[in-house]
Structure 1
Amino acid sequence: MDAWLSDFIAAEGLPPDFAATALAICGPLAARLVAEPRKPGLVVGICGSQASGKSTLTAVLRHLLEGAGLKVAALSLDDLYLSHAARQALGRDVHPLLATRGVPGTHDVALGLAVLESLAHPGATLLPAFDKAADDRKPQGVAVTGPVDVILFEGWCVGAVPQADVSAPINALEHERDPDGRWRTFVNAALAGPYQDLFARIDLLVLLKAPSFEVVLAWRQEQEAKLRARLAREGGDLRRAMTDAQVADFIAHYERLSRHILAEMPGRADVVVELDENRNPAPASGSGDVSPSPPSPRASSS
């Protein structure tokens, strides 16, 4: 594990202290998943805001589980985005903000359900893949032979539930570009409908809980600043990176549901990992204890 993690940190350009963070979070969680009785295709939902580190932590967790002899598949909610053409059609027919990928209503939920179902059974499953640079689906995914033991299903709103009231705008984007509430009403209705069918497949829900939405914005701006610096060093196209103002506008699309998740999900997630402003885990307590334990009600009832 030490050699693999060192190589992974170097390849991803992560700080050396990421090793301690990754093992502190993923080690106990992997031990719990190995210790608990499992059905084929057990789905672990990993919810984390933008720039919280969920993708990198998912990769470490996968490596630990595979090292324990389990067959693992990873699926990102991002890879279920509708095609560029389909989202442009939503933008024309429903609301212009739906042309921007991210919120519920901009994913192919039926595809996600089909993939989760297929991975639990014998045979080949083609995992979808999305090219963010091209803002469109890749023509070919990766084939995985099932059944797999564990499916790591990660995404910024994985496991989220709808809000009771979305009538009042919460930021400038909603006030100025969605004054009648059509966009946020559509998003909330999508989350209340087919997304709940998808999230019902989750057997163990893990929340990587950011300190606040303001910290999420700072994390995301930090990401883009690093991208700008790298592009400048390599002579790349600086237009590929957003400015701080552009990041703030983009992240505003996610603000409503991100705040709702931070307020609501800790009370029902099976595992809550409290992150500090440096993305390091705070001391575990209550539902944040990821040590081996008896199967959770969610897992045993599935």
Structure 2
Amino acid sequence: MSRALDVTSAAVDGWLAGSRRPLVVGICGAQGSGKSTLARHLCERAEARGGRVALLSIDDLYLSRKARAQLAVDVHPLFATRGVPGTHDVGLGLSVLDGLRAGATVHLPRFDKGTDDPVARSDWPAVEKPVDIVLFEGWCVGARPEPDAALAMPINDLERDHDPDGRWRRAVNAALGDAYSALFARLDRLVFLAAPAFEVVRDWRTQQEHGLKHRLKREGRHGSHVMSDAEVGRFVQYYERLTRHILASMPACADLTLRLDSSRKLIG
């Protein structure tokens, strides 16, 4: 990750030199690709040199379990599970990015994956001064919708068994082309961490869940749910369609593409 950090930091410095403040940089990558780690280290490096940085993850915009349960009733049962476009509070994301752009005091949302619900607003960290850089990271940040024809056939067991008519995947794609398009239009630049193939994502996501388990254990939060390896295997099927689409399409539109091997090392 150190070389990827050096390359990305140099790119951000170059973009910042000719940009209005704050510079809003999106960081996209499949689950487990290291985008959160990269964003955190970019933040630390910039702050060490006197810069002011706000860090936001699209994961912190997830809707509550209650809100997703209502989506499951109103739109499709698969929306009960967080992850895909349609399960985020896009309006909240817009207000945060627009507030940071305006230099206003902004409270950054936080989501607790252990409880599968947002953290109480009273515990959200505040950004009280204008920042130089906003880092907005997430697995689908900057993604564009698929062509309608690509939605015709299911691509895995989840879609075949639970979305045979394509209603869920069409709703996901429509959200990506509508509300999420407005959200991603706030980006000035886009960095893409390109996994070698979708097949490594399950392994990376499993490693993440093991890490979450150890962290929750250290914190004494034994009542929080952590997915088993089998549950992870099913969970990544929610992400598979869009992840494959991103891997194929995003290198053509990202400002910086970092190609990774299966160990997350930068290739080339």
The separation in 1 between residues aligned to 2:222 and 2:228, in whole angstroms, is 13
Change (3 A) 1:40 1:135: same
Q: Which residue is equivalent to 1:170?
A: 155
The separation in 2 between residues aligned to 1:263 and 1:217, in whole angstroms, is 18
Shift of residue 243 of structure 1? 2.4
Aligned partner (choices 70, 75, 80) of residue 51 of structure 2: 70
**3-state SS, counterpart of residue 142 of structure 2:** coil
The separation in 2 between residues aligned to 1:143 and 1:225, in whole angstroms, is 30
The separation in 2 between residues aligned to 1:43 and 1:146, in whole angstroms, is 16
Q: Which residue is equivalent to 1:209?
A: 194
User: Does the aligned pair in 1 maintain the 2:141–2:184 contact within 8 Å?
Assistant: yes
User: Does the aligned pair in 2 maintain the 1:47–1:157 contact within 8 Å?
Assistant: yes
The separation in 1 between residues aligned to 2:69 and 2:55, in whole angstroms, is 28
| Aligned partner letter, 1:114 | S
Aligned partner (choices 97, 122, 131) of residue 148 of structure 1: 131
**3-state SS, counterpart of residue 146 of structure 1:** coil
Change (3 A) 1:189 1:230: closer
More RCO (CA 8 Å, sep 6+) = 2
Q: Which residue is equivalent to 2:71?
A: 90
User: Does the aligned pair in 1 maintain the 2:145–2:177 contact within 8 Å?
Assistant: yes
**Cα RMSD (Å) of the superposition?**
2.1
**3-state SS, counterpart of residue 102 of structure 2:** coil
Question: Which shifted more, 173-182 or 221-230?
Answer: 221-230
- Relative to the length of structure 1, the TM-score reads 0.81
Q: Which residue is equivalent to 2:234?
A: 249
Q: Which residue is equivalent to 2:39?
A: 58
Shift of residue 38 of structure 1? 2.1
Please, which runs of 5 or more residues in structure 2 have no aligned partner?
none
The separation in 2 between residues aligned to 1:264 and 1:87, in whole angstroms, is 28
- 1:99 paired with 2:80, answer yes
Change (3 A) 1:267 1:188: same
Please, which runs of 5 or more residues in structure 1 have no aligned partner?
1-20, 284-302
Query: For the pair shown, which has the larger CA radius of gyration, 1 or 2?
Result: 1
The separation in 1 between residues aligned to 2:99 and 2:131, in whole angstroms, is 10
Shift of residue 25 of structure 1? 1.1
The separation in 2 between residues aligned to 1:111 and 1:226, in whole angstroms, is 28
Shift of residue 239 of structure 1? 8.0
User: Does the aligned pair in 2 maintain the 1:48–1:157 contact within 8 Å?
Assistant: yes
Q: Which residue is equivalent to 2:4?
A: 25
Shift of residue 234 of structure 1? 10
Q: Which residue is equivalent to 2:251?
A: 266
The separation in 1 between residues aligned to 2:218 and 2:66, in whole angstroms, is 34
Change (3 A) 1:233 1:201: closer
The separation in 1 between residues aligned to 2:231 and 2:107, in whole angstroms, is 34
User: Does the aligned pair in 1 maintain the 2:27–2:192 contact within 8 Å?
Assistant: yes
Q: Which residue is equivalent to 1:17?
A: none
**Which residues in structure 2 correspond to 1:194-233 (within 5 Å)?**
194-225=179-210
The separation in 1 between residues aligned to 2:146 and 2:183, in whole angstroms, is 17
After superposition, give the CA deviation of every residue in 1:34-86 in whole Å (9 maximum; x if it has no partner): 23222122110000111111111111011111122221000100111112211
| Aligned partner letter, 1:254 | Y
The separation in 1 between residues aligned to 2:215 and 2:176, in whole angstroms, is 37
| Aligned partner letter, 2:147 | A
